[in-house]
Copies of this chain bind each other. A is one copy, B any other.
Amino acid sequence: MIRITKIFTFETAHILYGYDGKCKNMHGHSYKLFVTVKGNPINDLDHSKNGMVMDFGDLKKIVNSQIVNEWDHAVMLNANSPHKGLGQNLEKEGHKVIYCDFQPTCENMLYEIAKKIKNKLPLEIQLAYLKLHETENSFGEWFAEDQV
């Protein structure tokens, strides 16, 4: 088996309800997302994807439609907290708001990304790994083998 990875970026604001540091204020990141899938390369001279686990372009389409197009240039907030009202006010003023049912930390965003992408992959392809950079020097990772 081989793993293939495609890297994405999106520019998103977030705000952490109840946090005891600077991230309690609305701010944003140039998120950098690595999506890794695993499978056996097709071995069939007559197949247009011969030699590939999955066409990089097809992986790109899935991640763009599920994550990047949704989250890019939006504000993510915890809709289970008083921040819900803040989001409603922002929406009224024409901003894009993502109402999360979780605190939008790097860690929880990874769980959400995994859930959304897994459903869209072809049956023979497994989601193996995700990496999400909040900054150049800080990132979170989701490993398939860490999930039970």
Contacts and interface: CB of A to CB of B under 8 A. Distances in A.
A51 B138 contact: no
How many monomers of this protein are in the complex?
3
A17 interface: yes
Nearest to A142: B2
Interface in A100-131: 102-108, 110-111
Contact of A5 (B17, B38, B139): B139
Interface string A40-53: 01000111111111
Contacts of A1: 143, 146-147
A138 B107 contact: no
B48 A19 contact: yes
Given A18-B46, A46-B18, A51 B104 contact: yes
A44 B134 CA distance: 22
Interface of A: 1-8, 16-21, 36, 38, 41, 45-53, 55-57, 78, 80-81, 102-108, 110-111, 134, 136-143, 146-147
Contacts of A104: 51
A2 B36 contact: no
Nearest to A22: B57
Contacts of A81: 45
Given A51-B102, A107-B51, A57 B21 contact: yes
